[in-house]
Amino acid sequence: MKISFFLGKGGVGKTTLSLLYAFNKGKVAVISLDKAHNLKDALQHFSKEKFQNLHIEEVDIEEEIEKYLENKKKELENKFSFFSIYNLDLFFENLKNAPGIEEEIYLYIIKNRIEKLKKEDYDEIHFDMPPTALSLRILSLPQINLGFLNFLKDIRKKIYERRKIIYKKEKDKVLEKLDVLEKFYKSLDKFFKSSTIYLVLNLDALSFRETELILKKLKEFNFDWESIFLVFNKLKEDVSLSLIKNLAQKYECKDLFSFIENYKDNIIFQKLLKFEV
């Protein structure tokens, strides 16, 4: 099953392309992770005959956060009975607005949808991603969390070795949980780095500079540029490689220039569609 992520500055046409690239591709799911959904609106511009078997979803992130935290609350109450003496409702209510919680929920959504749709024999999944800063935090989070988990596991193993002197047969529930989390983040990191990433941009300075930022961050977190495609979208006329190289130089986008130089086969020129005029 092919998994694709569509990233780029707001308004460059990510949503439209996530649908356009589902044409005649068999059983495809297009999932919008952007709070400012317009997937259903964009779909109205396409003939249904173009899609062999299309599933679309506009994820409600606030609803997903509520469900996730409610499940975690029940999990804590069931596994650790002493938590029943605390007011967990207040704790989880505050947790809703905690830094990083939104990114974490997006990871669970992506993993859940990939596993679910794989079982249903989908050929492709297209994720229409949220704004750039949030998208980069989502894509980099598995690798960052794996680093923290390795550190925590080392500390916990030292504690466990000392505990075993007293409680010889006791299993360490904390270590078991850390192992589960490690498996979760490793699988997501693998999903992300084996996926296709479409970086969508227009021929303006802001698009170029935002794409430059994305390329830098993806390289920093060990994403292979071979799996990245640049899509120059909403073109009113034919555009040459030399033109986009000149623009990359003009806007001081070194990584973007390097990508254009070295990955010519990964560059797509997409003409302006009639309804985008």
Residue range 152-170: average pLDDT?
75
Greatest mean pLDDT range, 158-167, 204-213, 265-274: 204-213
The CA-based diameter of the chain, rounded to the nearest angstrom, is: 76
pLDDT tier, 110 (very low <50, low <70, confident <90, very high otherwise): very high
Please answer whether residues 6 and 128 qualify as being in contact, where contact means their C-beta atoms are separated by less than 8 angstroms. Answer: yes
- pLDDT for position 90: 74
51 compared with 19, residue with greater pLDDT:
19
pLDDT score recorded for residue 276? 60
- Place 159 in a pLDDT band, splitting at 50, 70 and 90: confident
Alpha helices in the chain (DSSP H): 14-20, 39-43, 61-79, 88-95, 101-119, 132-163, 173-193, 205-220, 241-250, 254-262
- At 95 the pLDDT is 78
Confidence (pLDDT) at 166: 58
Where residue 277 falls among pLDDT bands split at 50, 70, 90? very low
Q: Return the higher-pLDDT residue of 50 and 193.
A: 193
Query: Which of these, 168, 173, 161, 126, lies nearest to 21 by C-alpha position?
Result: 126
pLDDT at 263 over 60: yes
| 163 neighbors 195 (Cβ within 8 angstroms) | no
Average pLDDT along the chain: 89
* DSSP 8-state class, residue 56: E
Mean pLDDT value across residues 197-206: 97
* Pair 27, 121: CB distance under 8 Å: yes
- In the structure encoding, which two tokens stand for residue 137, read together? 């935090």
Worst-scoring range by mean pLDDT, 78-92, 101-115, 165-179, 208-222? 78-92
Give the residue-averaged pLDDT of 219-231. 95
Calculate mean pLDDT across residues 199-209.
Answer: 97
Q: Other CB atoms closer than 10 Å to residue 102's CB: what's the count?
A: 19
Q: Which amino acid is at 214?
A: I
Of the pLDDT bands very low, low, confident and very high (cuts 50, 70, 90), residue 69 is confident
| Domain range list for the chain | 140-194
Strand partners, 126: 4, 30
Q: Which two tokens stand for residue 75?
A: 């999990």
